Amino acid sequence: MTDLIEPGTPAPELSLRTEDDDVFTRDSLLGQTTVLVFYPFAFSPVCTDQLQVYEQVSDEFAKRGAKLYGVSTDATWSQKAFREKLGVAIPQLSDFEPKGATSRALGTYFEPGGMTNRAIVIFGPDAVVTWSYVADSPGDLPGANLILDALDAR
């Protein structure tokens, strides 16, 4: 298992599938601050809480010029259904095939579980990592305040 990508590291090549069947790549990071929120599984109860809470303060992320994405190894269709069930607008990115390739490159993949860890990676508009975090356990939900503090510290 690779270590979590550290601040100051340029983004590696990424390949994540969007809901529109587009591909989110390293170039997609350029020009705006991007927050990738990795969660273990769509429809797991704990993940449900996390994205809905972040959605509640979406204006605070927008105010800081940051765009949030949810990332998991679920297929796009599952992620779309999950997002709709949650009633959130946060776009989803799928690391389904090859499974977990991007997550492995960023050090956010949890090998024994075959899933993404509960982790967050923030990229600046130059596609360089400004902050990264992985929870001690998948059940620990990083508060929105942690992300906002990291954005404010840039």
Partner 1 sequence: MGDEPRPGDHVRGDRGEVVIVQADFTCPWCALAHARLSEWERERPLRRVFRHLALTAKHPRAVALACAAEAAARQGAFWAFHDAVYADQGRIDEPHLWALAQRLGLDLERFEADRRDPAVLAHVQGQTKEAVLAGAMTTPTFLRDGKPDQALYHELVRNREDAKTRSATERGSEGTRTL
Dist. CA 45–CA 76, nearest whole Å = 19
Asked if residue 55 binds partner 1 (CB under 8 A), the reply is yes
Asked if residue 141 binds partner 1 (CB under 8 A), the reply is yes
Question: Which of 23-31, 80-88, 98-106, 120-128 is the region at the interface with partner 1 (rule: CB under 8 A)?
Answer: 80-88
Candidate list 66, 86, 121, 129; residue touching partner 1; CB under 8 A:
86
Candidate list 16, 88, 119, 122; residue touching partner 1; CB under 8 A:
88
Q: How many CB atoms lie under 10 A from the CB of residue 131?
A: 19
Dist. CA 4–CA 108, nearest whole Å = 6
Asked if residue 23 binds partner 1 (CB under 8 A), the reply is no
Dist. CA 73–CA 75, nearest whole Å = 7
User: What's the order of all strands across the beta sheet hosting 16-18?
Assistant: 23-24, 16-18, 92-94, 66-72, 33-38, 119-123, 129-134
Q: Smaller CB distance to partner 1: residue 1 or 146?
A: 146
Residues in contact with partner 1 by the rule CB under 8 A: 48-50, 52-53, 55-57, 60, 86-88, 141-146, 148
